[in-house]
Amino acid sequence: MLLPWEYGVRNLTRRPWRTVLTLLALTTVILLIFVVVGFIRGLDRSLATSGDKDVVLVYSVNSEENIENSAIGAQIPNLLTASVAGTWKRFDVTHVSPEMYLGTRVRSDEGGESLGLVRGVTTNAPLVRRVVQVFDGRWPASGEIMVGRLAAAKLGFDSADLEIGKTMVFEDRAWEIVGQFSAGGTAYESEIWCNLAEFQTATKRQDISLVALLLTPGSSTAEIELFCKERTDLELRALSETDYYQALQQHYRPVRVLAWLVVLLVSGAGIFAGLNMMYGAVAGRVREIATLQAMGYRRRAILLSILQEGALLAAAASLIAGAVSLLLLNGLAIRFTMGAFALRIDSMAILIGCGAGLSLGVLGALPPAFKALRAEVATSLKAV
């Protein structure tokens, strides 16, 4: 015979302060799990969505995965379009984007200074970077820049510092912000874009960092890769954009492993906290448990009732933590080495967070319940 469902619910209200403290502790632990899982999911999404399968990147073979360290000749875009086929061409405009990508010190009007990511581009860039959309303002002209949606988070500035009309200083030159753009959650959203020729002048460089080519449907990167291998004097490397960001995912794999380790450590700490509180809760109910056994209730029924209490608390804590995460944490910009990305509290994060929360409630209640049920009934009835 099982104990009534209402019995476990009433037990939670009999000790309101203990119940509230246990609920707060579980909510805090589960909220930390949501934060770490949201970090992992946000990083994975940023890298996964940044690649375009139809875009090929050509950059210096010596830079490996660090395109900001790449330097190739300014004549490479024309040489590529003249030597290889398969590049998209429409209305007599070849979809090729020469770019200079550089990390540099950026200062705002308010005096803040930080390391930012600046990309010098031409008007061909939107033809190749098809996810980029200017949602406020316009495309930059001479002496002007446009900033990504997450550029303020990358720089550590207030969003008001990057509003249209504000001025930013980098490479000893002032640039006026005339536009803001989004890029579907990709890495571009943490960048600052300006005119390529002016950026070359400001940095006193004649070279560029990379060339991005948009291929026609059905074309492959084989011909471009063959060209780069044959022209060893140019020291070029060709890689599809999706492969490039997959390589970055491997590069950041230790970070992701460390984050999952943090999830396990936080969950472990939550289990021990639950054990401590459940031990305290069960220790004060030794006579109650013994009385239930004397009344004829089996140990299994009492165990299920104790687990029910732990599961109810954990479920409530999971719901509270999930609601807080969705309302306050989802989409929160995080500053990172590669730029910035948004925390992502998606269905997978909810599943992991709530699953870990319920596990904390059940696993935390098991050891103290077993200990209380193993005690002799006669001895427990005499307990104070």
* Inter-residue contact 60 to 67 (CB < 8 Å): no
Which residues contact residue 324 at a Cβ distance below 8 angstroms, ignoring those fewer than 6 apart?
Answer: 31
- Residue 380, pLDDT above cutoff 60: no
Q: What is the pLDDT of residues 151-162, one digit of tens each?
A: 988 888 888 889
Burial code of 212-223, b = ≥16 C-beta within 10 A, e = fewer? bbbbeeebebeb
Confidence of residue 353 (pLDDT cuts 50, 70, 90): confident
pLDDT at 164: 92
pLDDT at 106: 92
Q: What is the pLDDT of residues 246-299, one digit of tens each?
A: 877 777 778 778 877 877 787 777 667 666 666 666 666 667 777 776 776 777
pTM of the model: 0.77
- The candidate with the shortest Cα–Cα distance to 192, out of 144, 158, 160, 226, is 144
Listed by start position, the domains of the chain span 5-48+252-381, 55-216
Rounded Cα gap, residues 30 and 19, in angstroms: 16
pLDDT at 174: 92
C-alpha distance across the termini of the chain, in Å: 28
Rounded Cα gap, residues 124 and 372, in angstroms: 73
pLDDT at 338: 64
Instruction: Specify which of 117-121, 153-157, 225-229 reaches the highest per-range mean pLDDT.
Output: 117-121
- Residue 379, pLDDT above cutoff 70: no
Rounded Cα gap, residues 229 and 237, in angstroms: 8
Tokens of 157: 């500035």
Pairing of strands 339-342, 333-336: antiparallel
Confidence of residue 7 (pLDDT cuts 50, 70, 90): low
Count of Cβ atoms closer than 10 Å to residue 268 Cβ: 12
Pairing of strands 173-182, 133-137: antiparallel
The average pLDDT across 205-220 equals 88
Confidence of residue 84 (pLDDT cuts 50, 70, 90): confident
pLDDT at 118: 93
Q: Phi and psi (nearest 5°) for 186?
A: -80, 175
- Residue 209, pLDDT above cutoff 60: yes
Least confident of 63-77, 206-220, 273-287: 273-287
Least confident of 16-25, 207-216, 221-230, 248-257: 248-257
Mean pLDDT value across the chain: 83
Written as one string, the DSSP assignment of 245-261 is HHHHHHHTHHHHHHHHH
Which residues contact residue 146 at a Cβ distance below 8 angstroms, ignoring those fewer than 6 apart?
Answer: 134, 137, 138, 139, 140, 177, 178, 179, 180, 181, 192, 193, 194
Least confident of 93-102, 106-115, 373-382: 373-382
Tokens of 202: 């400001």
Question: Angle, to 10 degrees, between the axis of helix 16-50 and the axis of helix 5-14?
Answer: 100
Percent of the chain with pLDDT over 70: 87
pLDDT at 144: 94
**β-bridge mates for residue 116, sequence order:** 104
The average pLDDT across 209-232 equals 87
pLDDT at 28: 85
Written as one string, the DSSP assignment of 70-90 is --B-TTHHHHHHHH---B-EE
The average pLDDT across 302-318 equals 82
